[in-house]
């Protein structure tokens, strides 16, 4: 993020198109990294919810078996 800001500042200061392209590349990398992290968190949340549901259903099944036996 800091690299993007520095490249934009350099573009404003020198009016060099290369600095603007660098800023775009840095910003694109930041967005790609954040997208990967968001996807990872969604996967972790889904696994956690599945695990909790499996455990909850396991307890319900055991309770029902014990109650009706």
In angstroms, the CA 24 to CA 41 distance is 26
Number of domains in the chain: 1
Domain extent for 20: 2-68
In angstroms, the CA 20 to CA 24 distance is 6
Query: Based on C-alpha coordinates, what's the Rg of the chain?
Result: 25
pLDDT score for 23: 96
Q: Are 23 and 12 in contact (CB under 8 A)?
A: no
The one-digit pLDDT tens for each residue of the chain (69 residues) are 899 999 999 999 999 999 999 999 999 999 999 999 999 999 999 999 988 888 887 776 666 676 665
CB atoms within 10 A of CB 45: 10
pLDDT score for 20: 95
**How far is C-alpha 6 from the geometric centre of its chain's CA atoms?**
25
């Amino acid at each position: 993020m800091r690299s993007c800001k520095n490249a934009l500042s350099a573009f404003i200061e020198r009016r060099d198109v290369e600095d603007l392209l660098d800023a775009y590349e840095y910003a694109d990398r930041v967005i790609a990294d954040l997208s990967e992290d968001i996807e990872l968190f969604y996967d972790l949340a889904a696994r956690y919810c599945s695990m909790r549901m499996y455990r909850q259903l396991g307890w319900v099944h055991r309770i029902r078996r014990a109650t009706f036996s």
